[in-house]
Structure 1
Amino acid sequence: MKLTILYQFFLLLSLTDAFYFYITGGDRKCFYKELSQGELLVGKYDVEVYDPNTDTFTRTNSKQLGVVIDVEEVFDDNHRVVHQKGSPTGEFTFSAIDSGDHRICFQPQSSGWLAKVKTKVNVDFEVGDHEKLDSKKKGKVQSLTEKVKFLNNKVSDIRREQKLMREREASFRDQSEKTNARVVRWSIIQLVVLGLTCAWQLHHLRNFFVKQKIV
């Protein structure tokens, strides 16, 4: 079991290669990869420019800096099969036509004060067949889709709870208004009864005083 895990770990290391290097603007840096026929190479890169004010490497826009990427077949008299000009951050793919060593070169290009500035190039190579890489991308898409569905379900639950709270609030408000109306009605009835009682008592006392010839 342990040997299987170690084998899969080293196999993963052989398929994925991430590193960075420093280069002066305008210079060309190459790396070699042995690819089998039909094997797919996916390369991701990110170029940063040295800032002497902060003594760090920072990103810049595509108007100031660009990158030329070449892939050449070493076994076929350095035949160039890829020549791509891109932005400071990007990705390129290449499918090997024949088996053998391939040279992958990066050349940052810029103008003005950036022409000879020191740059840092972050590179991530991923090698495999089309099905594995496609399935990996599909897996990422599936994961994102599931996260979106989860968030949608959460939003639906929140909306349902808000609707339920509004319904309860409306029901409580209606009940409060009915209760207040009953209290007001009962208060009015009590006032009317009290007024009638007072009027009857006054009338009765008046008649009593008249009979006693007090008034």
Structure 2
Amino acid sequence: MLLYCTLLVFVFFPFRASAFYFYGYGGDRKCFLKELSKGTLLKGSYSLGVYDEKLGDYALPGDKDYGVVIDVEEVFDNNHRVVHQRSSPSGDFTFLALESGEYKICAQSQVNNWVGKAKTKLEVGFEIGSEAMLDSKRKETLETLHGKVNILNSKIMEIRREQQLVREREESFRDISESVNSRAMWWTVIQVVLLILICVWQMKSLRSFFVKQKVL
């Protein structure tokens, strides 16, 4: 009966979650041991807090002043280090056990600049599951990326349609402008011709008038 209940726990709760709090000072290294079987996925997250006297509590520091170093070592293989990660005061890490045995997981707060010996609180949480969890995460990530690509493609197609509409409107406006300019030019030419004809007619009329009056 006990074995049956245990199997039910692993079926309905395939991932085990744990969390730790480490108090100390900048530069302190804290480690804990974990027995992992081959193919086990360990996904961890961490957050470093530095004591703020004004707030009276621990607050997340800036990336320029503090960082966190995560190390995973194989105890069964003479503490062979398989993970070494340096990053900001908060983040996550993922590790897949390639061999069964005891692993040492260490987190160290790192002072990037000289800011004094401040009190720190390092929170480390992790989930332990199977390699299928990693494959599932990858599949979800790929599906998410695929969805984003589809959204980008639809936006690009929409932008292309808008650009095509703008080009069509520009072509229509250009045709109308050319037609108006052509009509205006011909109207100007007609006006000039009419003015010349009127001037010629007036000159002939005046000449005829002066001849009748015997002025010329």
Alignment of 1:119-158 (within 5 A): 119-128=121-130, 130-158=131-159
Question: What does residue 24 of structure 2 align with?
Answer: 24
Match of 2:178 in 1: 177
Per-residue CA distance 1:151-185 (angstroms, 9 max, x = gap):
13313431442244134314412430331132122
Where 1:119 maps in the other structure, the secondary structure is strand
Deviation at 1:71, TM superposition (A): 6.7
Deviations 1:25-49 (A, max 9, x none): 535354767x6x5552222222414
Match of 1:68 in 2: 71
User: Structure 2 vs 1, CA of residues 62 and 81 (structure 1 numbering), >3 Å: closer, same or farther?
Assistant: farther
When structure 1 is superposed on structure 2, of 52-61 and 157-166 the one drifting more is 52-61
TM-score, structure 1 normalization: 0.64
Alignment of 1:41-190 (within 5 A): 41-52=41-52, 55=55, 56-58=59-61, 60=63, 65-70=68-73, 84-88=83-87, 89-95=91-97, 105-108=105-108, 110=110, 117-128=119-130, 130-190=131-191
Distance 1:114 1:38, change over 3 A: farther
Letter in 1 for 2:17: D
Q: Which runs of 5+ in 1 are unaligned?
A: 1-6, 74-78
Q: Percent identity?
A: 24
2-side partners of 1:116 and 1:85: how far apart?
Answer: 24
Normalized against structure 2, the TM-score is what? 0.64
CA distance in 2, matches of 1:160, 1:20: 55
Cα pair distance change 1:83/1:143, threshold 3 Å: closer
Q: Structure 1's 122 and 113: CA in aligned 2 closer, same or farther, altered over 3 A?
A: same
Structure 2: how far apart are the matches of 1:127 and 1:61?
34
Instruction: Show structure 2 runs of 5+ residues with no match.
Output: 1-7
Structure 2 CA distance for partners of 1:18 and 1:62, relative to 1, 3 Å: farther
CA offset digits 1:138-157 (Å, max 9, x no partner)? 22122113202321331343
Q: Closer, same or farther in 2 for the Cα pair 1:59/1:124, shift >3 Å?
A: farther
What is the correspondence of 1:193-204 to structure 2 with a 5 Å cutoff? Answer: 193-204=194-205
Contact 1:57 1:119 in 2 (8 A): no
1:58 aligned counterpart, secondary structure: coil
